[in-house]
Amino acid sequence: MSDDLAQRLREQGLRLTPQRQLILRAVEELRHATPDEVLCHVREQVSSVNASTVYRTLEVLEELGLVRHTHLSDRAPTYHSTLEHEHVHVVCRRCQKVRSYGPELVAPLVEALAADGFTMDVGHLAVFGQCTDCGTTSEQT
């Protein structure tokens, strides 16, 4: 990904910095992470990286099409790499576990909206509910 990152940055007149590489790698390794989680991960390697660098870099990486964000809670956005296939996020409101499903899960919805002239962005879709583990636990208490 470094070559792709370097090329896309150069096309925008930007430089490939160690911080940008670390932040992109963190997003790829964490799979779904808030800026604060990315910061903690990066600081395990380089303690001098600050929060504003992470936020600015995530914005740049998203503009370059290397990461995407979605809102998996009422807090900060969650970022994931575009190297992953497009997917729908399913979030348990109780334990906050996030699972990913392929776009075929919502294909009927995508098709119905397309028939009405609307193009759905599946990568930003998050469905909230309760997972089986939490459903079982709540029934026993």
In Å, the largest CA–CA distance within the chain is 59
CB 102 within 8 A of CB 87: yes
Contact 54, 39 (CB under 8 A): yes
List Cβ neighbours of 29 (8 Å cut-off, separation of 6 or more). 41
Q: How many residues does the chain have?
A: 141
Q: Is 40 annotated as a binding residue?
A: no
Known binding site: residues? 92, 95, 131, 134
Residue numbers belonging to the annotated binding site for Zn(2+): 92, 95, 131, 134
